[in-house]
Chains A and B, each alone.
Chain A
């Protein structure tokens, strides 16, 4: 999936156990569907267990969600669906018999096939067999290799059951998609709660669904800095679309009096940029614009040492917010630029804050800064 694979260090390792945990009402079935589409595109053989629906209805729903028909031509995909479950329910006297019949039926379906990935819609499995037995059932499906297990689960039990998946069930990847506390959401977000193969901390990323794809979304990156450091140029060159509210200043140059606004799609993320004015008289407004920002680019004019005091003041405001910050030292195409060490010494910033030497006139420089900030944001512990 766009952007998410990068956050996971390249994707899901073979043989992993993966949980997509959805809270009720969250329209996030596309996580599982997207993974299935990608698996088929890579010619991996798949078993799909969908005890809540029929194969035809599932394929139609998947096509509607994804916007394209599932390409099963020449692919190996087998299904266990609601019809199979009902048939077993009719004569299985108890849970143990039912589990045996489920396994028998699934193993029969898979007999001729090397299954790479098992996709399981877990609600009914959980209800029929419980958590431990349900996972055991999926894990004991006979295959010539150790298949990856990916399940989607409707979570009524909150963190308690997620902890069980991570601890007792030893799942390798747990992604939770919570529901909004508002009557309807501006955007949803997912939280990568646990990855067994990487030490990355828990992190949450908003997402939008566009054209059948899950697009990670950064709703606010703020671009700030001293006056005439090149913020508006930065936003203009970064954005696919945008606008700026400028007036001619006392120096004859234009100056931002409200804000710059830009939108771009980069590194598989949709990003909205807010550029602030630079003069100290706009500080109250800068603080408003910084509210709920997911990251900040502080731009300085690297040829003007006298701007650094203003930059230090802005850094003080930003560090109080505990959001990822990168510094862009602009105008490196002009003579007399400060070096990185001079900038660091003067601003008193930690080594963990990256400093980029750029020219905001060059789009590739601007995008390099934003890509770095996106990486920073997806790994930042808010």
Chain B
């Protein structure tokens, strides 16, 4: 089974990375490094692909993040649920696709399928690696925004289908959820769809994370920072 490097030494040293078909919930408060950590986790290695569903920032900003992290943007696709509301005539490209708002789960589902299909068909990027099935990292940033637009039970059904599809194609998914904005029932329901949970907390000016779901790693809080897409664990 393919192992996806996590880019976090603690995880990669202990477990080699994330097993294919993992779905990872990233819980963190606002103003934390949760979002940067999510993007860092889905940075594609050569031969891999990343797809980001962005409900919070424009695709240009998402692509910039990966560019600054030294990633070839030709292997990064973005489903942008922000830009089209102000630019209705913006056209899809192979790697940048647009839906009008996070409300449009039909559109999001179709764009996700289309991107996966183009990766499998080898038309996503000019420089395909030939790995099959192609390793795909998928990030939803964020479930919190989707929950503001759609009811929990509807979103649960939608995420159930997305996570199942990720498993089937042996990809990994990282889903960002603000744990300060939603009640325990919501969080525990979303957790049911996941194999791993990474929590982020902020104390003073410091960010900490802990991982639940990998046996070889204890669930202690680790201080960390993210700079240009690099996750560094601090003493």
A82 interfacial contact with B, CB 8 Å = yes
C-alpha gap A61/B89 in the complex (Å):
8
B92 interfacial contact with A, CB 8 Å = yes
Q: Are A183 and B168 in contact (CB under 8 A)?
A: yes
Using known A-B contacts A25-B110, A127-B151, A156-B154, determine if residue A56 contacts B120 with beta carbons closer than 8 Å: no
What is the size, in residues, of chain A's interface with B at 8 Å between Cβ atoms? 30
Q: Which of A23-82 contact B (CB under 8 A)?
A: 24-27, 29, 51-54, 56-61, 64, 82
Q: Are B100 and A54 in contact (CB under 8 A)?
A: yes
A residues less than 8 Å from B117 (CB atoms): 184-185
A123 interfacial contact with B, CB 8 Å = yes
| B interface bracket (residues with beta carbon within 8 Å of A) | 20 to 34
C-alpha gap A22/B107 in the complex (Å):
11
Task: Output the least CB separation between A20 and chain B (Å).
Answer: 11
B213 interfacial contact with A, CB 8 Å = no
B residues less than 8 Å from A185 (CB atoms): 117
C-alpha gap A24/B84 in the complex (Å):
21
A residues less than 8 Å from B101 (CB atoms): 52-53, 82
Using known A-B contacts A25-B112, A25-B161, A29-B110, determine if residue A56 contacts B88 with beta carbons closer than 8 Å: yes
A154 interfacial contact with B, CB 8 Å = yes
Q: Are B158 and A60 in contact (CB under 8 A)?
A: no
C-alpha gap A97/B92 in the complex (Å):
38
A1 interfacial contact with B, CB 8 Å = no
Number of A-B contacts (CB under 8 A): 80
C-alpha gap A22/B110 in the complex (Å):
10
Set B85, B113, B169: member contacting A26, Cβ < 8 A: B113
Set A54, A64, A123: member contacting B106, Cβ < 8 A: A123
Task: Output the least CB separation between B148 and chain A (Å).
Answer: 12
Set B100, B109, B116, B150: member contacting A24, Cβ < 8 A: B109
C-alpha gap A59/B110 in the complex (Å):
18
- Chain A residue with Cβ nearest B119: A184
Task: Output the least CB separation between B103 and chain A (Å).
Answer: 5
B residues less than 8 Å from A51 (CB atoms): 103
A124 interfacial contact with B, CB 8 Å = yes
- Chain A residue with Cβ nearest B114: A27
Q: Are B89 and A124 in contact (CB under 8 A)?
A: no
B residues less than 8 Å from A156 (CB atoms): 154, 157-158, 161
C-alpha gap A82/B113 in the complex (Å):
24
C-alpha gap A185/B116 in the complex (Å):
11
C-alpha gap A26/B113 in the complex (Å):
8
Task: Output the least CB separation between B68 and chain A (Å).
Answer: 30
- Chain A residue with Cβ nearest B160: A156
C-alpha gap A82/B84 in the complex (Å):
13
Using known A-B contacts A25-B165, A183-B168, determine if residue A52 contacts B100 with beta carbons closer than 8 Å: yes
- Chain A residue with Cβ nearest B91: A64
B residues less than 8 Å from A61 (CB atoms): 107
Task: Output the least CB separation between B160 and chain A (Å).
Answer: 8
B105 interfacial contact with A, CB 8 Å = yes
Using known A-B contacts A24-B158, A184-B117, determine if residue A154 contacts B105 with beta carbons closer than 8 Å: yes
- Chain A residue with Cβ nearest B118: A184
B206 interfacial contact with A, CB 8 Å = no
Task: Output the least CB separation between B170 and chain A (Å).
Answer: 9
B104 interfacial contact with A, CB 8 Å = yes
B residues less than 8 Å from A58 (CB atoms): 100
Task: Output the least CB separation between B85 and chain A (Å).
Answer: 7
Set A27, A82, A179, A183: member contacting B103, Cβ < 8 A: A82
Q: Which of B124-156 contact A (CB under 8 A)?
A: 133, 150-151, 154
Q: Are A60 and B89 in contact (CB under 8 A)?
A: yes
Contact sample, A vs B, 16 pairs, CB 8 Å cutoff: A24-B158, A26-B110, A26-B113, A29-B110, A51-B103, A52-B104, A52-B106, A52-B107, A53-B101, A56-B89, A57-B84, A59-B88, A156-B158, A179-B113, A183-B133, A184-B120
Q: B-side interface residues toward A, CB under 8 Å?
A: 84-85, 88-89, 91-92, 100-101, 103-107, 109-110, 112-114, 116-117, 120-121, 133, 150-151, 154, 157-158, 161, 165, 168-169
Task: Taking A57-B84, A127-B150 as given, write out 6 further A-B residue pairs in contact, using a Cβ cutoff of 8 Å, ordered by the A residue number.
Answer: A26-B113, A54-B88, A57-B100, A127-B151, A154-B109, A183-B133
9 closest Cβ pairs, A-B complex: A56-B88, A156-B157, A25-B113, A184-B117, A57-B88, A53-B100, A24-B109, A25-B109, A57-B100
